[in-house]
Amino acid sequence: MGTHFRINALASLMIAVFVGPHAFAAEDYRPPQTDFGVPDVQGVWNYKTRTTLQRAEVYEGELEVDEETMLAKMISTPDYLAFLEATGAEAPGPENVGGYNGFWITPGDALAQMNGKYRTSLIVDPPDGQIPWREEGQAVRRSQQDELPMGMAESDGPEGRTLSDRCLISFASTAPFMSSLYNNHMQIVQGPTHVVLLAEMVHNARIVRIDQEFKELPFDKWLGDSIGYYEGDTLIVQTKNFNGWQVAKERLMSSNILLTERFTRVADDKLHYTFTIDDPELYTQPWTAEMPMYTGENLYEYACHEGNYAMRAILAGERRHEADARNAQ
């Protein structure tokens, strides 16, 4: 293993010591091994959760709460779904026909549970559960997001619609993985030399090269350049050099990000997932978040364009709108 990996292994150990024992499997659990002798973290994993990235004030600074406190302070799932239906970017109603309703929204019913306690934020470092933005960091993010035409919403032709309407880019975060409105599934496939991290939401597959160095490429790969290695029972994946449009699409990165993810199987049906973002252009320090992932479900196909009557309806409606305007003249 090269110097690069030894350095990052040490960094991983330091972060683990800081985060504490909740990041690891129970002492009496031993994850299965693949035929080629590494921890088996393969499967379809669901990461839906009501825990937000940053800690809400209602939890008074506490990272972990018991079930009674969670139920008392967390907005109920029916009320939360009603809020999303009424205020979401595609809220249904007479002025926005075809928006999402509660049937499609699956945010989870509880906060993320780690070692018997419920987490009030995904962020565990810094301890206050808040993103450590640089003074100008959020302004930099807004300028980068403006470079991606997610919201053109022009209806002269299908190419004028938003990238999400055209099923080219989703609104969900898949680098790192974070819970969204629905379809919070990913799949891990392991081989001796490569690992695939598949996000079904618009079929993004990151190919991770095991025990290799980053490549010096004349272009930025769409999902970045990913390398990985094993440390004990944990698969560690590092990714950088994302394509500029992917940088603009995601919530938390600039073009300088180094994303480090850790996948540790703590039960037959559960992973602990941790990610660390090191991006000095946006943040005053590297910061770390974690959450559980659960298996036992099949991968739900994100068939975004199959039978997509909405595109034809949007364009037909615009043509009718134009015709009505001409007739009015």
The string of DSSP codes covering 206-262 is EEEEET-PPP--SS--TT-EEEEEEETTEEEEEEE---HHHHHHSSS--TT-EEEEE
Same domain, yes or no, for 97 and 242?
no
Q: 224-280, pLDDT tens digit by residue?
A: 999 999 999 999 999 999 988 888 888 788 889 999 999 999 999 999 999 999 999
Cβ–Cβ under 8 Å, residues 55 and 118: no
Least confident segment among 153-157, 238-242, 259-263, 325-329: 153-157
117 assigned to some structural domain: no
Confidence of residue 196 (pLDDT cuts 50, 70, 90): very high
What domain range includes position 148?
3-49+122-328
Statement to judge: residues 102 and 213 lie in one domain: no
pLDDT band for 11, please (50, 70, 90 cuts).
very low
Q: Do 80 and 197 share a structural domain? A: no
Residues 173 and 99 both lie in one domain: no
Residue 90 has pLDDT above 60, yes or no: no
Report the number of distinct structural domains present in the chain.
2
Instruction: Tell how far CA 319 is from the center of its chain.
Output: 37
Pairwise CA distance, residues 309 & 6, whole Å: 53
In a domain? residue 104: yes
201 plus 102 within the same structural domain: no
pTM of the model: 0.84
Q: What is the dihedral of CA 69, 70, 74, 78, to 10 degrees?
A: -120
pLDDT at 16: 39
Are 93 and 235 contained in the same domain? Answer: no
**8 A C-beta contact, residue 48 and residue 107:** yes
Least confident of 84-88, 94-98, 181-185, 311-315: 94-98
Q: Are 322 and 295 found together in one domain?
A: yes
Q: Are residues 85 and 144 in the same domain?
A: no
As a whole number of angstroms, the distance between CA 174 and CA 224 comes to 12
Instruction: Give the CA-trace dihedral at 230, 231, 235, 239, to 10 degrees.
Output: -80
Task: Identify which of 245, 283, 72, 227 has the alpha carbon closest to the alpha carbon of residue 148.
Answer: 245
pLDDT tens track for 92-109: 555 555 566 777 788 889
pLDDT of 309 over the 80 cut: no
The Cα–Cα gap between 256 and 307 comes to 39
- Given CA atoms 98, 99, 102, 105 in this order, what sign does their dihedral have? positive
For residue 171, the one-letter residue type is: F
| 3-state DSSP assignment of residue 277 | strand
Within this chain, do residues 267 and 173 fall inside the same structural domain, yes or no?
Answer: yes
Is residue 87 within 8 Å of 96, Cβ to Cβ? no
Do residue 89 and residue 156 come from a single domain? no
What would the pLDDT profile of 41-76 be if each residue is shown by its tens digit?
999 999 999 999 999 999 999 999 999 999 999 998
The whole-number pLDDT of residue 36 equals 97
- Interior/surface letters 193-230, b for 16+ CB within 10 angstroms, e for the rest: eebebbbbbbebebebbbebebeeeeebbebbbbbbbb
In this structure, what CATH number is given to the domain that contains residue 247? 2.40.128.20
54 domain-assigned: no
Say if residue 94 is in the same domain as residue 223: no
